[in-house]
Structure 1
Amino acid sequence: MVRVRFAPSPTGMFHVGGARSALYNWAVARQSGGTFVLRIEDTDTARNRPEWTQGIIDALAAIGISTADPAFEGPYFQSDNVERHRKAALQLYAAGRAYYCDCTREQLTERTGSEHLGYDGFCRERGLEFAEGRALRFRTPDEGETVVEDLVRGKPIFPNSAIEDFVIARGDGSPVFLLANVVDDLDEGITQVIRGEEHLSNTPKQQLLWGALGARPPVWAHLPVIVNEKRQKLSKRRDKVALEDYLGDGFLPEAMVNYLMLLGWGPGDDREIMPYKEMERLFRIEDVNTSPAFFDVKKLTAFNGEYIRALSAEAFIAACAPWLTEPYAPWGAGAFDAGVFATVAPLAQTRLTLLSEITSYVDFLFLDEPVFDEASWAKAMKPGSSELLRNVRTAYASAIWQPDELKSALTTVGESHGLKLGKAQAPVRVAVTGRTVGLPLFESLELLGRDRTLARLDAALLRISQNQTSS
């Protein structure tokens, strides 16, 4: 029975690298009829916060890993197993597989002549017993090698002579991460450990611990590191890495899942846009490559645009809802008209790459005055724009208020100024919507209505006049 685990620490926002690892574990569990175990590694009491634990559960749910699914088990909390960790440490000591050490870092440096060399085994045969301040070290074999069975990386070999006698319990008796992780995996019956490659260097030590505790180690799979455009490992100090931030910017969870699944793996053909269920069916951990995976935000954004366009009209309107209310919406309470938005939504849906962009596309419909974007104004309001806008206002005062008629009227005015429609509509668009880019102009004017359109043209003419006077 396949049992995989995802074991994050509740010390911050949910990293996209963690999301990728969780999805790969989820795919392995689901396609094999196995179990996905969520374990919260919460023993770092100085940094843990309860809200981060809930954040992990919520983030997993957002990418389709639900606690209600039969494949899901947990969450378990590492802090609940501390006594078991202590017993395992004492078990290793009693079996002669670990010994107490009172060496300080300064003493080790003095003996070896370097701050960077590993532990030299000085206390191996001193027969020290437990006392406050004495760490417990695992006695690694002096000869032979440790072979790691890795589904992604083959069989990395680690000479035992190169593995120092590492600490498994601190001077106060509390077990360190390496031992706690192994004991939890053992107790929870984990058969495969799928995690980031930064943990590969710890794996021979953990494998030795598994053997010393009388158990067969799991099968390992170490996933490629995720890097930014400079090919540096994604860092929360330098890069945008929180899944919550991407979702908050308007990336659809389905698009995030699709993109994250492809960071190190592919289905073997030219397809990239595909639903998770199909990727789950095709996924094989053995097909994950070892090369660093580039987190390409531009590509992710393109994926998101595809997913937005594929939504039904109802689903698109529902997905936009958070950005049409406070704190995102710039208009006041009661200004939003759901009926107007439902009419304009299909026009916006084909243009968005992020759901958060919806506000700037439709705000002109719900604000008393359009936003003033200085760059858009400078680009559109060229010499002669005042006369053009006056003539458009005159034409629109009596035009039939339908898109085709409004377009025809503007075309006629533009021709009288020697302008094609594309050039003629630029100052009109900025006067009415505030921006040079937006929804189809004439459908927008129809929804805005004659009175509001004429009032905005008047306001633009006044601004032009005031600017000319001040200059």
Structure 2
Amino acid sequence: MVRVRFAPSPTGLLHIGNARMAVYNWLFARRHNGIFILRIEDTDIARSEKKHMVQLMDDLHWLGLAWQEGPDAGGQYGPYVQSERLQIYHDICQKFLKEGLAYRCYCTLEELEERRQIAKLTGKPPRYDNRCRNLTDKQIKAFETSGLNFVIRFKVPEELLVFEDLIRGVCQFDLSLFGDFVIMRSDGTPSFHFAVAVDDTMMKITHVIRGEDHLSNTPCHIVLFHALGQKPPQFAHLSLTMGADRTLLSKRHGAFSLSEYRKLGYLPEAILNYMMLLGWAPRDKKEKFRADDIVDTFEIGTMSKAPSVFDQQKLDWLSGQYLREAEIERLVDLAIPYLQAAGFISADEYAIDRTKLKLIVDAVRNNISCMSQIAQETNIFFRDVVVSEKHIEFLTSEITQSVLLSFYNELCKTHVLSSEIFKNILKAVQEETKVNGKGLYLPIRVALTGREHGLEMYNIALILGIDTCKKRIERFLLIRK
């Protein structure tokens, strides 16, 4: 059975590029009726925090991802948090020492740095020179007597390692260039390489799907799999996600994490859809689809080797498509916190006029790409309009005044509004003033909203109501009938 894992470190918010790796692991598991595992790699004690673990799990659930095994789901191969597996790493490390697969290294950080610099100056790879690999018993005893801290290094065989990556094809590495790497730090915590290989072995991972930045780590993991008596899993190294400037995605490109996109009010299905487009496309080239639409045709080997570019405009377009199709009641629920924060509606949800709010949200949904934009788009319905000096000058011109006065008089003749009645009112104003097109619509729009562009005029009038429309027009009438 296919078993894949997503293994983030809880050192901060879940990066959108890293979340993409979770998406493809989840999608691959669904494609092959396999198991998707969440594993928390928190052995970086100084930077890992439980609140980050809780947040990233919450963000992944919000995105729609579900795992069959993990910290909150349990499973027969747990624990699924590395800090709870330290004894396992310690026991296997001791086994490696006894079997001669690993050894204690007493080199200090200063010595290692000095050798790295010398290697660079002489044009050699800055690898560890394995000098502690063949220490005599006498040398080892001297180091232990001196009380020096030590790390444990794995003995890397000097050979050519070849493996086939599901995305990148045949890859080969000369292990003589690697040097013996650390598997256990001096503080008793495992290195990334060691913990990953041990966990993937014990959790029976069949496929490792991760970013191409880990490609150079793969040889270290493969030799550890061999030492553990395990056939290595199949590897698939995905291209990384870049910003529009072709540099690695970071905060300077805008929103950075799933949490930030949640706060901005993007719909999770839109984010999920867009992340599946980063480095892959369905056969029919459609850009808007749900995971269920493509799970039967998704093939990891068809993913692009080239870096994917995160396009905020494309995400906004796609998000807008989902907003247009979403259930209106759901959008109202999502809009309420933003409108409350803006002071537009009551903090008491029982005091909210949901009927009117539904009309407002439905009217503006075509103009927004995320729900946080709704306060800006709807403020004309909750606050008096502020009109610029330029617009005041425009509204006081002779032709504009004639349009406003005629429109005001027509409003006074009716007690109800509908789209049909509003159209008849505009038709009557046009016949009376002989003004049409932009000259007819713009004065009314500016007087009612303070803007030259925006929602359909009849929607604005219907939501504002006759009395509010009349009051806003009255402010700009120089001569009242």
Which range, TM-score by smaller chain?
0.7 to 0.9
Identity across the alignment (%): 35
Q: By how many angstroms is 1:112 displaced?
A: 6.2
Q: By how many angstroms is 1:119 displaced?
A: 1.3
**Equivalent runs, 1:137-152 vs 2, <5 Å:** 137-142=153-158, 144-152=159-167
Question: Corresponding residue for 1:435?
Answer: 451
**Runs (5+) with no aligned partner, structure 2:** 121-125
Match for 2:88 among 67, 84, 88?
84
**Aligned with 1:301: secondary structure?**
helix
Contact 1:192/1:220, CA 8 A, preserved across alignment:
yes
1:299 counterpart = 2:303: no
Match for 1:107 among 111, 114, 118?
111
Amino acid at match of 1:43: T
Match for 1:97 among 101, 104, 115?
101
Amino acid at match of 1:190: I
**Separation (CA, whole Å) in 2 of partners of 1:50 and 1:373:** 50
**Runs (5+) with no aligned partner, structure 1:** 463-471
Contact 1:194/1:222, CA 8 A, preserved across alignment:
yes
Question: Corresponding residue for 1:341?
Answer: 357
**Aligned with 1:96: secondary structure?**
coil
The superposition leaves residues 345-369 of structure 1 with CA deviations (integer Å, 9 ceiling, x where unpaired) of 443334433233333333333x252
**Equivalent runs, 1:226-237 vs 2, <5 Å:** 226-236=241-251
Contact 1:401/1:446, CA 8 A, preserved across alignment:
no
- The number of aligned residues is 459
Amino acid at match of 2:100: G
Amino acid at match of 1:311: A
Question: Corresponding residue for 1:120?
Answer: 129
Question: Corresponding residue for 1:465?
Answer: none
**Separation (CA, whole Å) in 2 of partners of 1:34 and 1:167:** 33
1:289 counterpart = 2:318: no
Contact 2:406/2:433, CA 8 A, preserved across alignment:
no
Question: Corresponding residue for 1:200?
Answer: 215
Larger mean Cα displacement after TM superposition, 165-174 or 328-337: 328-337
Larger mean Cα displacement after TM superposition, 420-429 or 117-126: 420-429
**Aligned with 2:384: secondary structure?**
coil
Question: Corresponding residue for 1:466?
Answer: none
**Separation (CA, whole Å) in 2 of partners of 1:114 and 1:373:** 70
The superposition leaves residues 97-125 of structure 1 with CA deviations (integer Å, 9 ceiling, x where unpaired) of 22222223443454565365221222221
Q: By how many angstroms is 1:41 displaced?
A: 1.2
Q: By how many angstroms is 1:405 displaced?
A: 3.8
The superposition leaves residues 214-270 of structure 1 with CA deviations (integer Å, 9 ceiling, x where unpaired) of 221111111110001011111246542211212322221111111111111122222
**Separation (CA, whole Å) in 2 of partners of 1:244 and 1:233:** 19
TM-score, with length taken from structure 2 = 0.86
Amino acid at match of 2:131: F
TM-score, with length taken from structure 1 = 0.87
Change (3 A) 1:391 1:13: same
Question: Corresponding residue for 1:57?
Answer: 57
The superposition leaves residues 268-303 of structure 1 with CA deviations (integer Å, 9 ceiling, x where unpaired) of 222221121122221111111211011111111111
Contact 2:37/2:67, CA 8 A, preserved across alignment:
no
Q: By how many angstroms is 1:90 displaced?
A: 2.0
The superposition leaves residues 32-68 of structure 1 with CA deviations (integer Å, 9 ceiling, x where unpaired) of 2221111111222222222211211111111211357
The superposition leaves residues 382-438 of structure 1 with CA deviations (integer Å, 9 ceiling, x where unpaired) of 744456434433343334643444444445546766642333322322332333333
Contact 2:395/2:447, CA 8 A, preserved across alignment:
no
Amino acid at match of 2:51: E
Q: By how many angstroms is 1:375 displaced?
A: 9.2
Q: By how many angstroms is 1:14 displaced?
A: 1.6
**Aligned with 1:437: secondary structure?**
coil
1:28 counterpart = 2:28: yes
The superposition leaves residues 6-40 of structure 1 with CA deviations (integer Å, 9 ceiling, x where unpaired) of 11111211211122111111122222222111111
1:450 counterpart = 2:454: no
Contact 1:26/1:65, CA 8 A, preserved across alignment:
yes
**Equivalent runs, 1:28-427 vs 2, <5 Å:** 28-66=28-66, 76-108=80-112, 110-111=114-115, 114=118, 116=120, 117-127=126-136, 128=140, 132-142=148-158, 144-236=159-251, 239-324=254-339, 326-328=340-342, 330-333=344-347, 336-365=352-381, 367-370=382-385, 372=386, 374=388, 377=391, 381=395, 383-384=397-398, 385=400, 388-399=403-414, 401-402=416-417, 403-413=419-429, 419-427=435-443
Larger mean Cα displacement after TM superposition, 112-121 or 301-310: 112-121
The superposition leaves residues 148-188 of structure 1 with CA deviations (integer Å, 9 ceiling, x where unpaired) of 33111112100111112111122233221111111111111
**Separation (CA, whole Å) in 1 of partners of 2:32 and 2:74:** 15
RMSD, aligned CA: 3.0
